[in-house]
Amino acid sequence: MASSTFFWILLCCLLLAIPALRVAQRRRLLMRERRWLPVELRRARLVFAEHLFEPGNLALVAKVDRAYEVDGEIRLLELKTRPRHRVYASDAIELSAQRIALEAATRRRVSRTGYVLTQIPSGERLVHRVILLSSAAVMQLMARRAQLIDGLVAPRYAMNARLCASCSYRLECEKGRGALSIGEG
């Protein structure tokens, strides 16, 4: 009888300890994450993480890495692993599209300032503040993409030839084919 009582007490302790350990682990993770956040987001509340937004009224789908609420406004943070701490125009475009999708799906106000957190192979992290594109600029990019897909306009060549080297359409592109044959010669 005593061993049965001991077993039940032990089982109850374990059942109570497991959720407590999970809560403690989550708190440690959140504290570690807060260390690399920009100052203005350290006291913010995480409202979305790895969340997909598909507003029905727009031909736009966006996956938000992190969205934090500060004083009733949502601020977006994009996580990037790169060889160097660098922000690209495509990062601002991506965050801007996320802003439009999140606003349309939730009817909540999203800041025109976003953040890109870069992590390099050594594990060092750096946060970059980015000014997001206007809604009109994002809509123009969406319209241009639709025109390209429908064949209504011709694509423009990349300003940087190195972009052609990693482009999945380079075999279909005359300039890409020329660069490919020169580079392989």
Co-location of 130 and 177 in the same domain: no
Co-location of 30 and 107 in the same domain: no
Co-location of 18 and 96 in the same domain: no
Domain that holds residue 26: 1-35
- pLDDT (tens, 9 = 90+) of the chain, 185 residues, equals 667 777 677 766 667 777 776 666 666 655 556 677 888 888 889 999 999 998 877 788 899 999 999 999 999 999 999 999 999 999 999 999 999 999 999 999 999 999 999 999 998 999 999 999 999 999 999 899 889 888 898 877 777 777 777 777 777 776 544 554 444 43
How many domains is the chain partitioned into structurally?
3
Co-location of 52 and 134 in the same domain: yes
CA dihedral sign, ordered 109, 116, 42, 54: positive
Distance, in Å, from the CA atom of 172 to the CA atom of 159, rounded to the nearest integer, reads 18
Co-location of 114 and 66 in the same domain: yes
Co-location of 126 and 66 in the same domain: yes
Angle between helix 135-149 and helix 89-106 axes, rounded to 10 deg: 100
Co-location of 46 and 25 in the same domain: no
What pLDDT does 18 receive? 75
Q: Are 77 and 115 in contact (CB under 8 A)?
A: yes
Co-location of 45 and 29 in the same domain: no
Task: Please state the pTM of the whole predicted model.
Answer: 0.72
Co-location of 79 and 162 in the same domain: no
Co-location of 96 and 9 in the same domain: no
